Amino acid sequence: MIRAIQIRQINIAMHKPHSPQGYVELFQKAYRMRYIHERGRADGYMLGAIYGVKEALQKDELHGEIYRFTNIDRDAPWFNSDTGKPAEDSETESIAIPGNLHPNLDRIHFVFKPKSHQLWYVSKDRKASMGPTIAEVFLQELFGATSLKHALPTVEVTVVPNIAAVSEVLRVHHISRLTMVFKRPNDDAEEIERRIMERMQRRNVTRLEEVMTSADGITPDQDMYDEAAAAAKNGYVQSEGHDYSGLPVLESTVAKPALISEIINEEIETVSMVLSRVSSA
């Protein structure tokens, strides 16, 4: 069977000195947490499986699955679809659902590269889906809880924007306000990110927000593009201004996550094989 899937990318960065092995151990500890993130009244998310731990460093790949399922509120009212009315107590008193069982399981496949600390996951496959905002929140909470329990370095999670996001944000005709938010980059970051990280470390800052304003319009230069690229990878960039018609414009890298569409032929390759191929490109 041939079908289309969608893939998103997420940057996962530790604050303190680390190693690829440290990232693998982070995932192992997070998996053992059995942490459940509840989204709204119904959805639940959990790191349900990790594969290939022993070969992860050699192959620079750690595969796994995020489980998405339905959390049933056993105290909420029930509905009888036959009568079209709320169910009576006499109809529900015999219902007994074990607290450890959850229906509507979706298995969200991912691959994590320990050396570059990048994660690719399948955001849509048939009816199963997990948006980038939800994925970021879930992973941030999961690793935050893991770091707290095991006294590990702080972990920052950021959805990777598409390649044109920074240019689109800085290409607004008249930028009156530009905001760059930096979460502390990884230790093996590029030069511009290292400079930002060093400045944040000297000031004991874990989050840096720079706001620039101009009534006459901000003129981006190459340094601004470089800083914006670093912020987009480890935070976000947002511009506010007007277009050529004078209409207000708000552009943000948060609203422009990278999206990779792939065709999978089940007779030739698995979802995990597609993730390996995409993440190694």
Q: What is the pLDDT of residues 201-222, one digit of tens each?
A: 788 888 889 999 999 999 999 9
169 and 113, same domain (yes or no): no
143 and 187, same domain (yes or no): no
Domain total in the chain: 2
The region of weakest confidence among 76-90, 97-111, 136-150 is 76-90
pLDDT at residue 81 in the model: 77
Question: Quick one: pLDDT band at residue 189, thresholds 50, 70, 90?
Answer: low
Give domain status of residue 214, yes or no.
yes
174 and 228, same domain (yes or no): yes
Q: How far apart are CA 33 and CA 273, in angstroms?
A: 27
Quote the percentage of the chain above a pLDDT of 90. 65
**Higher pLDDT, residue 118 or 105:** 118
Give domain status of residue 136, yes or no.
yes
pLDDT at residue 222 in the model: 93
133 and 264, same domain (yes or no): yes
Give domain status of residue 139, yes or no.
yes
16 and 106, same domain (yes or no): yes
212 and 269, same domain (yes or no): no
pLDDT at residue 255 in the model: 94
Give domain status of residue 24, yes or no.
yes
pLDDT (average), residues 183-193: 68
CA dihedral 151, 142, 195, 61 (to 10 degrees): 100
The region of weakest confidence among 85-89, 107-111, 220-224, 255-259 is 85-89
pLDDT at residue 101 in the model: 67
Query: What contacts 24+ positions apart, CB below 8 Å, involve 194-202?
Result: 196/227, 196/230
pLDDT at residue 171 in the model: 94
Average pLDDT, the chain: 89
Question: Quick one: pLDDT band at residue 109, thresholds 50, 70, 90?
Answer: very high
In this prediction the pTM is 0.85
pLDDT (average), residues 228-240: 92
Pairing of strands 174-183, 155-159: unpaired
Q: Residues with Cβ < 8 Å from 70, sequence gap 6 or more? A: 42, 43, 44, 102, 103, 104
Please name every residue paired with 51 in a beta bridge, in sequence order, or none if there are none: 63
Give domain status of residue 100, yes or no.
yes
40 and 178, same domain (yes or no): no
**Higher pLDDT, residue 91 or 142:** 142
151 and 219, same domain (yes or no): no
152 and 181, same domain (yes or no): no
**Token pair recorded at residue 227:** 């800083």
pLDDT (average), residues 241-260: 95
Give domain status of residue 150, yes or no.
yes
pLDDT (average), residues 132-139: 95
pLDDT at residue 192 in the model: 78
36 and 147, same domain (yes or no): yes
pLDDT at residue 215 in the model: 94
Please name every residue paired with 119 in a beta bridge, in sequence order, or none if there are none: 10, 112
Is residue 72 predicted with pLDDT exceeding 80? no
pLDDT at residue 138 in the model: 96
Give domain status of residue 78, yes or no.
no
**Higher pLDDT, residue 173 or 102:** 173
68 and 118, same domain (yes or no): yes
218 and 265, same domain (yes or no): no
Give domain status of residue 90, yes or no.
no
- Could you tell me the residue range of the domain that residue 22 belongs to? 2-73+95-160+258-279
